[in-house]
């Protein structure tokens, strides 16, 4: 019993481990080839609209700009998106299609990776 009381405060005070997006999911993702071309022609302008996502180690910019809150193999989740308080889920399908769902919705926005 003593061990439990000693370990509990230590666990509660330890800093949170930073979550990282899986490497296979990082990069520029777009709804179409035209959106990829538009992005590469003007990289200085941050992505806007619903057709483009730029995913780094710890954040998503574009359709929803947010920090990663949970990550696992082939999937991650963000909070604090453009939809205040709603989590966004991202999952890699078939190794090359990024699916974005809002909360627990069944329908997903689909994105293809832009060539480097």
Break the chain into its structural domains and give their ranges. Answer: 18-113
Nearest to 90 by CA among 79, 82, 99, 80: 99
* pTM confidence score: 0.75
CA distance 58 to 71: 10
User: What are the pLDDT digits (tens) for 6-31?
Assistant: 443 443 343 444 589 999 999 999 99
Tell me the average pLDDT across 71-86. 79
**How far is the first Cα of the chain from the last one, in angstroms, to the nearest whole number?**
56
Q: How far is CA 43 from CA 53, 54, 61, 64, 111, in A?
A: 13, 11, 13, 18, 18
Residue 81 scores a pLDDT above 70: no
CB of 11 closer than 8 Å to CB of 5:
no
Q: Give me 69's structure tokens.
A: 């809150």
pLDDT digits (tens, 9 = 90+) for 87-101: 889 999 988 899 988
Cα 53 from chain centroid (whole Å) = 9
Residue pLDDT, tens place only, 48-74: 677 889 899 998 888 667 888 889 888
Q: Are strands 88-93 and 52-55 parallel, antiparallel or unpaired?
A: unpaired
Determine the 3-state secondary structure of 4 from DSSP: helix
């Amino acid at each position: 019993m003593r061990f439990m009381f000693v370990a509990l405060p230590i666990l509660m005070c330890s800093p949170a481990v930073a979550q990282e997006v899986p490497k296979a999911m990082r990069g520029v993702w777009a709804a179409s080839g035209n959106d990829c071309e538009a992005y590469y022609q003007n990289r200085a302008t941050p992505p806007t609209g619903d057709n483009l996502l730029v995913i780094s180690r710890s954040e998503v910019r574009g359709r929803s700009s947010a920090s990663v809150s949970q990550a696992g193999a082939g999937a991650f989740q963000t909070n604090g998106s453009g939809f205040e308080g709603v989590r966004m889920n991202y999952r890699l399908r078939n190794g090359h299609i990024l699916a974005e769902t809002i909360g627990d919705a069944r329908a997903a926005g689909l994105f293809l990776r832009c060539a480097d």
